[in-house]
Amino acid sequence: MKLYAIFFSPTGGTRKVCQLLTSAWQQPAEEIDLSDSRRDFSAISLTAEDICVVAVPSFGGRVPPVAAQRLGQIQGGGARAVFATAYGNRAFEDTLTELEDVLKAAGFRCDAAVAAVAEHSIMHQFAAGRPDARDKEQLEDFSRQICSHLEGGAPGEPAVPGNRPYKELHTIPMVPQTLDTCNRCGICASLCPVQAIPAATPEHTDPQLCISCMRCVQVCPQHARRVAPEILAATSRKLEAVCSQPKENQLFL
């Protein structure tokens, strides 16, 4: 049996959740990073003996389209999937339902699911610091429960919340701006999951390609990329009521 941690994690929260969910198997998980825009995912071929923890962030209550597309290229080969979403304390809506469909179409068997809260990657005041120590304990406990559930034989599909058809894809476009302090080091261009930043002119961003994932903002050593403060403030005010009350992680077996 080989253990895989497969994730799309522009700013690292989803990766943390994915790693915590692999903890019960007590063996190193091979990482497959879906945000690597240069990797050929169709070359990945899994088998029925493999166990994969597959995690994506919820973007607008859906699976980020680029993550769905790259997952769809993997040959699942009957591998068992524990599928998870990390969301920023608003709601994950149809993310798990869609993720399950994407995985089944790629040939995975879907055995268990988790929805976990992680710091909001745009408005960091929501779920700040999560997953925290309590989340870590809880997600490690979920991992143990899932591990014994899988060892118990053929577990069957978990009932996850969500609708088909999925809610419409709609996120508020927040293309980061580049400030004058940019020294054109190119780090953001090389790490953008969708190649929206040209390497030669990193002060420009293609608004058609940008998925507002915030990785460039996080990785810029000069702090030269940001979402316009007035847009950030207005969106924060709009989401305050639905994002402020801490939400619980959920396990679906």
Ligand X SMILES: Cc1cc2nc3c(=O)[nH]c(=O)nc-3n(C[C@H](O)[C@H](O)[C@H](O)COP(=O)(O)O)c2cc1C
List contacts with ligand X (CB under 6 A). Answer: 9-14, 57-61, 86-91, 118-122, 171, 212-214
d(CA 186, CA 31): 25
Question: Which lies closer to ligand SF4 via its Cβ, residue 80 or residue 215?
Answer: 215
Placement of tokens 């994690």 in the chain: 9
CB of 52 to ligand X, least distance (A): 17
Q: Which three-class secondary structure string do you get for the chain?
A: CCEEEEECCCCCHHHHHHHHHCHHHCCCCEEEECCCCCCCHHHCECCCCCEEEEEEECECCECCHHHHHHHHHCECCCCEEEEEEEECCCCCCCHHHHHHHHHHHCCCEEEEEEEEECCCCCCCCCCCCCCCHHHHHHHHHHHHHHHHHHHCCCCCCCCCCCCCCCCCCCCCCCCCEECCCCCCCCHHHHHCCCCCCCCCCCCCCCCCCCCCCCHHHHHCCCCCEECCHHHHHHHHHHHHHHHCCCCCCEEEC
CB of 49 to ligand X, least distance (A): 28
CB of 152 to ligand SF4, least distance (A): 41
Question: Which lies closer to ligand SF4 via its Cβ, residue 20 or residue 211?
Answer: 211
CB of 100 to ligand SF4, least distance (A): 25
**Residues between 130 and 189 with contacts to ligand SF4, criterion CB under 6 A:** 176, 178, 182-188
CB of 60 to ligand X, least distance (A): 5
Question: Which lies closer to ligand X via its Cβ, residue 13 or residue 158?
Answer: 13
Contact range with ligand SF4 by CB under 6 A, out of 51-59, 93-101, 208-216, 243-251? 208-216
Partner touching 197 among ligand X, ligand SF4, none, CB below 5 to 8 Å by kind: ligand SF4
Question: Which lies closer to ligand SF4 via its Cβ, residue 87 or residue 252?
Answer: 87
What sign has the CA pseudo-torsion 51, 57, 59, 61?
Answer: positive
Question: Which lies closer to ligand SF4 via its Cβ, residue 12 or residue 155?
Answer: 12
Question: Which lies closer to ligand SF4 via its Cβ, residue 113 or residue 211?
Answer: 211
Partner touching 194 among ligand X, ligand SF4, none, CB below 5 to 8 Å by kind: ligand SF4
1: burial class by Cβ within 10 Å (0-12, 13-18, 19+)?
exposed
Which of 68, 216, 239, 251 binds ligand SF4 (CB under 6 A)? It is 216
Which of 82, 211, 239, 243 binds ligand SF4 (CB under 6 A)? It is 211
68 forms part of the interface with ligand SF4 (CB under 6 A):
no
